[in-house]
Amino acid sequence: MTAAMLVLTSMPYAISAQTETNQPPQAAITISGACSGDDVVQSGSTTDKIARDLDGDGQVCVVLDGSQSTNDDDIGCSKTEDRPIKTYYWDKNDVSQGRSDQPTEQRTVHIAGNDTVDWGLTVEDWCGETSGRANVSVDYVANQQPQAAFDVDVTEDTDGDGEDAIDVDATPSSDDGSITGWNWSIATAGSACVEDTQQSFQATCPTGEWTISLTVTDDAGAQDTIEVDSSEDDALPALPANAPPTDPQITGVTCDNSTATEHGTECTDPLPVTVTVDGDGMDDETVHKCQWNATEQAPVDCTASETDLDVTCAWSYGDGADAKVDCGSSATHDYEAEDDHNLTLTVIDEAGAETASTANQTITITEPAAPEPDPQTDKAPITLKQEGFDGADDIEFATEGPSPSNDTWSTDGLAHYSAACMDDKQLGLYGDRDAALQFNEKVVFDGYVLVDSLTVPGDQLAPLFDPAVSPDDDAGGPRCTYDDTAGQGEATFTVPADDLSFKEADWSQLGVSFTHWGELEADQANEPDLDEVSVEIKPASTSTWTTLDDWETLPQQPTRESFEIQRTDADALGEDLELRFAFEADQDFNDHRGWFVDNVEVTGSDLCPTAKTNVPSLVDIGPELNSTLVTLDASPSYDRLGTIETFRWTDASGDLDVTGETVDVRLDRGQHDLTLDVTDDNGCSDTISFTVTVDRFPVADASVDPSVSQVDHDGSGDEEFRLNGSDSFDPEDGDVACEWTDTDDNVVASTCVVNVTVPVGNETIKLTVNDTVGATDSTNLTLEVAANPDPTAATGPNRTVRDANRSGATEVTLDASGSSDTGDGEITAYEWSENGKTIANGEMAEVNLSSASAPGEDHNITLTVTDSGGGSDTDVVTLTVVENELPEMAPNITCDRLTCNFTANAEDDTAVEQCTWTVGDRDETGCEITWDFDEPGSYQVNLTVLDEEGETNNTSVNQGFETVFIDSFEDGGLGDWSLASTGEGENLWRVGADCETPGDDRDGDAALQFNREAICDYDSDEVPQGAVERAVNLTDREEADLTFRHYYEVETDCSGSFDQMWINVSTDGGATWNTVTGFDCQDGNTDGWRIITESLDPWVGEEVTLRYAFDANDGFSNSGKGWLVDRITVW
């Protein structure tokens, strides 16, 4: 760095004011800086300077500059050069360092370590005058290492993203010079988060344990590092994760009438009850501020500050509803039912974290008790009829709406129900939709769709006047007006009499209220008659209407109107009451919306209960009893406003006095005059009197002759029945009166016995018997007259008849035995006809039907049956005569070795009766059979198929087996076979036809045999033994079998040495042998030829040697014929 120029001057000389003489010069020393960037000069005091050894070589190099020395113009002296100073004299610690006569003077000097040097300068001008000595002291100072320190602010993760904000600042770091570099490294969970070279910056890093490292470098290149790990140093807090909010508090619960309870708040208001709740919770944003010093390796200062954050209050109202609001705002909820509701508050922070606990309070909703009515003065109204014009269904188009919810309205003229011509405010608050009674022109708006026809009470309709803009009509003019229309429109509302049946004394008043609004003709010049609307009332029996009020100007916002009507016309009680809304206009100035009426309500006053009973006037006690239990039932009684508290039953004699809505009392025979008194909770009462007669009721007993069901045999259309009610009786005096009535309650007769004629069909006749006190009993007889039924012809199902011998005709049996007659007659005639001609008669008939002209031709045979009553019926049977066809077959044979499955695959136009298979002289039956062949070969398989008509058809197939070879030895030689020795004995194998055997079943004449020629035994001088063998190629076989015929007659005594026979296979040219099978004395002799099959599967895929071997083992008992083998087959 370059130091500021510092000029040091000597003290001035005193100069006489009278003489102008030469003044001495003034010396000045400045230090212009270090010789190089390895050192630096810093200012100290005026005369003391500090030189820092930046490169650490033990010395500093500085430049002393005397060029700032000054001199005035030399007086009386001559200059050889144009410069103020002639000579510069330098000294070091007052020791001369030489002179310089240069125009500008700078001197480079070196100062050793730990040295302080005082440099002086004296200058001389051209007149020889010298200045005083100027000096500067320069101290050598070695460079000091910087000190790393930093401030760090950590802000909590309040948004829940898993990262904290970190602000770092290295300003607290210090150096004797200046710090020129900062290297930061921040890591979390062992992974680098951020590295930076700014003095200060902000970063975001994942929450958790972390390390922070700062290395500072000064202008001399010296460095210092500070590193702090939160997991090892408790003073550095870990990067904090979001902490959930705490301390949920319900700070307020209010309603119109609230009372604090032990567990919460009780609201005593009419339902629905609106409750306002307030709550709060705590959620802080924590900022940790720390300053760290590299020398101390500890925080100089570490504090935590907290800032309150906004939180959300999540309310659960305890009735299934919930809501979320800012905790600084109130929440409101409407409770619809009385109950204890658990109000719960959970506080949620910005990150969505919830408080670990909840705040709870019980809100008790209680409707206020109705005031106790005064039986004398309190005339509480009740709603008799109410109409909101919404209909049972939603309104779909702005047209004439549906009928109101009851059918007591009638309209004419301009009056109609609709949701058209009203804006949203008129249709109802909060998006509801409500139709209204309108007096204007009915119009359909295409595509103007409205939804939700919901009743909105009149007192909830909002103030308005923002007329809806309706679509134009075809002529372009506005609609929803009563323009170009004159006359009246009326809507009449009827309250039925049963809703008005109050006691006269309680008819103090009726109330009529409704909501209306609209727009009528205003005052116009030359228009004295203004349009007018009115509301009127009258009893239905009168024709005169009483006007409650009328209007020439209507409110433009929905307005509720109410009227009280004093009722003095006692004669009109018990009849319908009619309410009318009337509209009258002329033809002028009618471009207005008309009149809208909604939510019409009629109320009345009724205090006293009404006594009614459900008790029969006559009670039957049965034929033998004198008293019975009777149920006195007052449940039909009612009280519109209160509750009936007492029911009292009494009789005129004073014997009965009981209470209860329903009671059982015992009444004797006779008449009882009873009274029911009811009293409600207002102290008001009503009385009804009635009579109950207890009697033994008569018993109705009816019979009919001949029976309740008859048949119209003669076809007259009716039958006569004799009805008898004379067995009916009265237990009291025995006399009853009989009355017969038909289904329509017409009296048929008033005698107990009567003859009646009943037409074909059913008729119910009721017998009612009456005794002298009016008690009755009845019973019904259902009489049936059936028309004479026709017989039923039945030919049986349609059939196909086959010409079995294909002669062109066949005989068919016609069967009518299924025919029947449900009447009282019988079938007397059976006639069979074809094409209108009779071909046979009788219940069973044989006919010959031809098929020669048209095979397959249908014969439609008609059966006509006639019964004894002349009734008849027909039935048609279709007989198809077809030529019988031969059965067809497609035989299929599949084999597994010598076991084969034979499948005929036979079909026939009737049915296959039998399949017969023949191979040689053997046959078996069955369309699917299993056939076992004795040995491989080529066979002809014959199949014969028989159908159910006796026709047969046959075919044949050839069945063969693939063989490797077949040797039958008919050429008399060994062929491919060769003799082989098995020991020292005599090998007697040969081919010949000279030995006869029992049951000879060899293939041809010749056979391979082990015996002596012509002699046909194996008794030789040597022990008979030997083999015959041949090569067999099984390389291309996947399976193989050996089949052969053989006969042997050998030694059967097994007590000593005995004869043995083997069949062997060798795969190594005879070096070793594998036994396929063998025979000896234990098997006994064959007593005839046998066929043997053995598997060669173990040797498939190889070339083998097949051997037949015989060994007598001794010379005894060898007189048998030996071993004969024929038709050797490998396959």
Answer whether residue 501 shows pLDDT above 70. Answer: no
Between 374-378, 469-473, 580-584, 754-758, the lowest mean confidence (pLDDT) is in 469-473
Task: Please tell me which of 47-51, 432-436, 695-699, 1118-1122 the model is most confident about, judged by mean pLDDT.
Answer: 1118-1122
CB 668 within 8 A of CB 625: no
CA 1041/CA 934 separation, integer angstroms? 13
The model's pLDDT over 280-289, given as tens digits with 9 standing for 90+, comes to 888 776 676 7
Between 133-142, 654-663, 869-878, 924-933, the lowest mean confidence (pLDDT) is in 133-142
Burial of 886 (0-12, 13-18, 19+ CB in 10 A): middle
Better pLDDT: 12 or 1121: 1121
Point out which residues pair with 594 in neighbouring strands.
519
Q: What is the pLDDT of residue 874?
A: 94
- Enter the tokens of residue 1111: 């060994």
CA 688/CA 612 separation, integer angstroms? 7
Answer whether residue 854 shows pLDDT above 60. Answer: no
Q: What is the pLDDT of residue 461?
A: 29
CA 693/CA 1102 separation, integer angstroms? 120
CA 645/CA 680 separation, integer angstroms? 5
CA 57/CA 49 separation, integer angstroms? 19
Between 309-313, 824-828, 1031-1035, the lowest mean confidence (pLDDT) is in 824-828
**φ and ψ at 1048, to 5 degrees?**
-140, 145
Mean pLDDT over 1074-1080 rounds to 95
CA 745/CA 763 separation, integer angstroms? 12
Q: What is the pLDDT of residue 1043?
A: 96
DSSP 42-55: EE-SSSEEEEEESS
Q: What is the pLDDT of residue 746?
A: 92
DSSP letter at 761 equals: E
| Domain 965-1130 architecture | Sandwich (2.60)
Other Cβ atoms closer than 10 A to 640:
18
* Cα–Cα distance list, 39 to 63, 141, 746, 799 (Å): 11, 10, 145, 135
CA 517/CA 422 separation, integer angstroms? 11
At residue 571, the 3 state secondary structure works out as helix
Answer whether residue 472 shows pLDDT above 50. Answer: no
The model's pLDDT over 260-285, given as tens digits with 9 standing for 90+, comes to 888 889 898 887 889 898 988 887 76
- Among 585, 504, 597, 526, smallest CA distance to 555 is for 597
Between 292-301, 393-402, 531-540, 701-710, the lowest mean confidence (pLDDT) is in 393-402
Point out which residues pair with 868 in neighbouring strands.
none
CA 216/CA 173 separation, integer angstroms? 8
Give the β-pairing of 284-293 and 149-155. antiparallel
- Cis amide linkage into residue 371, ω under 30° from 0: no
At residue 1081, the 3 state secondary structure works out as helix
Q: What is the pLDDT of residue 438?
A: 63
Q: What is the pLDDT of residue 379?
A: 44
Q: 1012 falls in which pLDDT band (50, 70, 90)?
A: very high
Q: What is the pLDDT of residue 1102?
A: 95
CA 841/CA 825 separation, integer angstroms? 20
| Domain ranges within the chain, ordered by starting residue | 30-142, 149-229, 246-284+306-366, 383-602, 618-695, 703-787, 799-883, 892-960, 965-1130
Between 7-21, 435-449, 793-807, 957-971, the lowest mean confidence (pLDDT) is in 7-21
Cα radius of gyration rounded to whole Å, the chain = 68
Between 464-473, 558-567, 619-628, the lowest mean confidence (pLDDT) is in 464-473
Amino acid at 302: C
Q: 28 falls in which pLDDT band (50, 70, 90)?
A: confident
Answer whether residue 111 shows pLDDT above 70. Answer: yes
Burial of 419 (0-12, 13-18, 19+ CB in 10 A): buried
**Residue carrying the six token digits 């190594």:** 1068
Answer whether residue 345 shows pLDDT above 80. Answer: yes
Domain 703-787, what fold?
Immunoglobulin-like (2.60.40)
Q: 406 falls in which pLDDT band (50, 70, 90)?
A: very low
At residue 521, the 3 state secondary structure works out as coil
- Among 844, 792, 790, 854, smallest CA distance to 816 is for 844
User: For the chain, percent helix, then strand, then coil, each to nearest 5?
Assistant: 0, 50, 50
**φ and ψ at 153, to 5 degrees?**
-115, 125
**φ and ψ at 1097, to 5 degrees?**
-55, -35
Q: 37 falls in which pLDDT band (50, 70, 90)?
A: low
Q: 508 falls in which pLDDT band (50, 70, 90)?
A: very low
**Residue carrying the six token digits 């050894």:** 53
% of the chain surpassing 90 pLDDT: 27
Give the β-pairing of 134-142 and 59-65. unpaired
Mean pLDDT over 166-172 rounds to 87
- Cis amide linkage into residue 272, ω under 30° from 0: yes
Q: 1126 falls in which pLDDT band (50, 70, 90)?
A: very high
**SS3 per-residue string spanning 381-404:** EEEEEEECCCCCCCCCECCCCCCC
Mean of the per-residue pLDDT values of the chain: 79
| Domain 618-695 indexed as CATH 1.10.1330.10 | no
Q: What is the pLDDT of residue 893?
A: 94
Answer whether residue 912 shows pLDDT above 80. Answer: yes
Burial of 209 (0-12, 13-18, 19+ CB in 10 A): middle
Q: 418 falls in which pLDDT band (50, 70, 90)?
A: low
Better pLDDT: 45 or 464: 45
| Domain 30-142 indexed as CATH 2.60.40.10 | yes
Task: Please tell me which of 442-456, 541-555, 1003-1017 the model is most confident about, judged by mean pLDDT.
Answer: 1003-1017
CB 126 within 8 A of CB 138: no
Q: What is the pLDDT of residue 75?
A: 65
| Domain 246-284+306-366 architecture | Sandwich (2.60)
- Among 621, 620, 650, smallest CA distance to 634 is for 650
At residue 249, the 3 state secondary structure works out as strand
Q: Which residues of 1107-1123 are buried (b: 16+ CB within 10 A; e: fewer)?
A: bbbbbbbeeebbebbbb
- Enter the tokens of residue 873: 């019926």
Q: What is the pLDDT of residue 85?
A: 83
Better pLDDT: 1049 or 514: 1049
DSSP letter at 208 equals: B
Class level of CATH domain 892-960: mainly beta
CA 482/CA 592 separation, integer angstroms? 6
CA 1026/CA 1110 separation, integer angstroms? 6
Answer whether residue 136 shows pLDDT above 60. Answer: yes
Q: 600 falls in which pLDDT band (50, 70, 90)?
A: confident
Between 32-46, 249-263, 815-829, the lowest mean confidence (pLDDT) is in 32-46
At residue 78, the 3 state secondary structure works out as coil
**SS3 per-residue string spanning 82-98:** CCCCCEEEEEECCEEEE
At residue 429, the 3 state secondary structure works out as helix
Q: What is the pLDDT of residue 822?
A: 76
The CA dihedral of 1050, 1051, 1054, 1059, to the nearest 10 degrees, is -60
CB 1122 within 8 A of CB 1110: yes
**φ and ψ at 391, to 5 degrees?**
75, 175
DSSP 1013-1055: TTT-S---SS-BEEEEEEEEE-TT-SS-EEEEEEEEE-----S
Q: What is the pLDDT of residue 1001?
A: 77
- Enter the tokens of residue 470: 């309706």
Task: Please tell me which of 94-103, 539-548, 1004-1013 the model is most confident about, judged by mean pLDDT.
Answer: 1004-1013
| Domain 149-229 indexed as CATH 3.90.1150.30 | no
CA 204/CA 195 separation, integer angstroms? 12
**φ and ψ at 734, to 5 degrees?**
85, -15
Q: 452 falls in which pLDDT band (50, 70, 90)?
A: very low
The DSSP H or E segment spanning 427 is helix 424-427
| Domain 799-883 indexed as CATH 3.90.1010.20 | no
CA 658/CA 633 separation, integer angstroms? 12
Mean pLDDT over 627-644 rounds to 86
- Among 801, 911, 778, 807, smallest CA distance to 857 is for 801
* CATH number belonging to domain 383-602: 2.60.120.200
Q: What is the pLDDT of residue 34?
A: 66
* Cα–Cα distance list, 248 to 340, 347, 356 (Å): 21, 6, 9
Q: 145 falls in which pLDDT band (50, 70, 90)?
A: confident
Domain 149-229 identical in fold to domain 703-787: yes
